Structure 1
Amino acid sequence: MVEQAVTGAGATPPPEQPPDATGGDAAATGGGTAAGPTSAGMTADGAPTAPADVSGAGMSADAVPAAPAGGAPAGPLQRTADLTAGPGGVMTDEVGVVTGELTLRTEWADGQVTLRVQYKDADEWYMVTGGRAALADPSGLDAVHTIAVALLNRPEG
């Protein structure tokens, strides 16, 4: 069996063996390939074979981060929606009742879902009183957010 030269840093072969420019060594052993090795859409020289599909590259706050090897999403997930608080407003832990035009943010992190509100376009977020619960599967975030919006959004009173 004949070994092929392996290139190192800078694409230079190790000094003890010159590169096999003709591929004759591989062909002599019957191990030649027609198009060369490829992996993950890349050619052996590192150039992409075709443009990659990067749908969603312009991410938004509602985008789901890529999942690490364990399958759980990396980092917190969140959904936001503008709403009008109903009669009595929304009770918060920090400042009591907030009323009027609000933004609701439903967050999932570390197996917990949390509801926060802010006055629309303000900087400060307030924890909704009673707005924290266990949620083992982050795929339930959309359902929790939809229900919270439906309960809190009362533009007609």
Structure 2
Amino acid sequence: MGEQAVTGAGATPAPKQMPDAGGEDAAAATGGGAGPTTAGPTTAGMTVDGAPAASADVSGAGMSADAVPATPAGGAPAVGPQQRTTDITAGPGGVMTDEAGVVTGELTLRTEYADGQVTLRVQYKDADEWYAVTGGKTALADPAGLDAVHAVAVALLDRPEG
């Protein structure tokens, strides 16, 4: 590995310092020594020549902390109730529901999102009645998480091999 030049203020090379055996340099840097101390950096960001860190635009990077659901072809973002459905086979013991008790066999699982809540429902495949899965309702702050919740529910409830 080669050496790299380190510059101080005014683009002048910073003097090389050798660590001392007594640890006085470390104590001075943290305020524990007898000499004057200067305030250290207040952020974990890296700066060049003491210039304050500037925020970076990373548009197009594929991620955003304030992500919103994709805009459909109509132009406005999707709002209101959303749902995902998948056909499953209940494992041993079936799926417990609030209305009908345990349901077994070939089922359809529906994961619904509305008003900040996600709800799991099942029905016998191709039937008309839907049943709320016992314990299958919780708050979901971001509707973008609907796909993940549905995937986890399918993974837990779809047990065709038993």
Q: 2:155 aligned to 142, 150, 157, which one?
A: 150
TM normalised by structure 2 equals: 0.53
Which ranges of structure 2 fall in alignment gaps of 5 or more residues?
1-71
Aligned pairs for 1:71-86 (under 5 A) are 73-86=78-91
Which ranges of structure 1 fall in alignment gaps of 5 or more residues?
1-54, 58-64, 68-72
1:148 is paired with a residue whose SS is helix
Task: Point out the structure with max Rg over C-alpha.
Answer: 2
The residue number in structure 2 matching 1:121 is 126
Give a deviation string over 1:19-50, Cα, whole Å, max 9, x none.
Answer: xxxxxxxxxxxxxxxxxxxxxxxxxxxxxxxx
What is the CA distance between 1:92 and its match in structure 2?
A: 0.1
Q: Which runs of 4+ in 1 moved over 6 A?
A: none
TM normalised by structure 1 equals: 0.55
Give a deviation string over 1:71-104, Cα, whole Å, max 9, x none.
Answer: xx42200000000000000000001000000000
Aligned length: 91
AA aligned opposite 2:84:
R
AA aligned opposite 2:143:
P
Report % sequence identity: 79
Cα distance in 1 for partners of 2:145, 2:76 equals 17
Distance 1:77-1:66 versus aligned 2 partners, 3 A rule: farther
AA aligned opposite 1:123:
D
RMSD, aligned α-carbons: 1.8
